[in-house]
């Protein structure tokens, strides 16, 4: 429910399910325990690489450019280029970048709050999923785009 409260996931209504005529794909998920973490001891992880009838969501996605991968030497040189440097926390950055409604319906998952007798609810992921093949390129582009949009405010 934390994912719904944060806008990362959305429960689909019956009318949403009936009215959607575009592509749809359901991805599997599992709980990953992090007993050493004080804030997130259980994390839900989605697996777009798991195949169903020989196809996975990642098999349909393009990887994106490797241009955003920072080499350590380049990072160190750029760090020393200017007299000031900016450091930021990009924790949960993937959960900050929205995806289009078509992509959301290709990131459907089933949930019933651990109640076996209850009918399954259908949810969509509304943000970039870390397991998606192109996720790194998308969030890197969002980071660079945000920096360029607000560059004039901080020069």
Which DSSP string do the residues of 31-98 spell out, in sequence order?
EEE-TT-SS-SEEEEEETT--BTTB-SGGGS----STTPPPHHHHHHHHHHSS-------TT-GGGSB
Is 0.85 topped by the overall pTM?
no
The rounded distance, in Å, linking the Cα atoms of 20 and 36 is 41
Per-residue pLDDT tens digits for 117-155: 889 999 999 999 888 888 888 888 888 888 889 888 876
Residue-range definition of the domain harbouring residue 135: 2-48+57-83+96-154
Is residue 88 in a domain? no
In a domain? residue 6: yes
Token reading at 50: 């798991």
CATH number for the domain that contains residue 42: 3.10.10
pLDDT tens sequence across 17-74: 999 999 999 999 988 888 888 877 888 889 999 998 999 999 988 887 765 566 778 8
Summarised one tens digit per residue, pLDDT across range 76-116 is 888 788 887 777 777 778 888 999 999 999 999 999 887 88
């Amino acid at each position: 429910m934390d994912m719904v409260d944060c806008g990362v996931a959305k429960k689909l209504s019956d009318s949403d399910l009936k009215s959607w005529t575009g592509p749809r794909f359901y991805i599997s998920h599992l709980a990953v325990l992090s007993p050493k973490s004080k804030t997130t001891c259980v994390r839900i992880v989605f697996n777009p690489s798991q195949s169903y009838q020989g196809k996975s969501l990642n098999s349909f996605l393009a990887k994106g450019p490797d241009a955003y991968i920072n080499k350590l030497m380049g990072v160190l040189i750029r760090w020393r280029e200017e007299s000031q440097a900016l450091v930021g926390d990009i924790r949960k950055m993937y959960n900050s970048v929205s995806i289009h409604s078509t992509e959301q319906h290709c990131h459907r998952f089933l949930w019933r709050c651990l109640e076996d007798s209850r009918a399954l609810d259908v949810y969509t992921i509304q943000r970039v999923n870390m397991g998606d093949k192109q996720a790194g390129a998308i969030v890197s582009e969002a980071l660079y785009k945000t920096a360029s949009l607000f560059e004039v405010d901080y020069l």
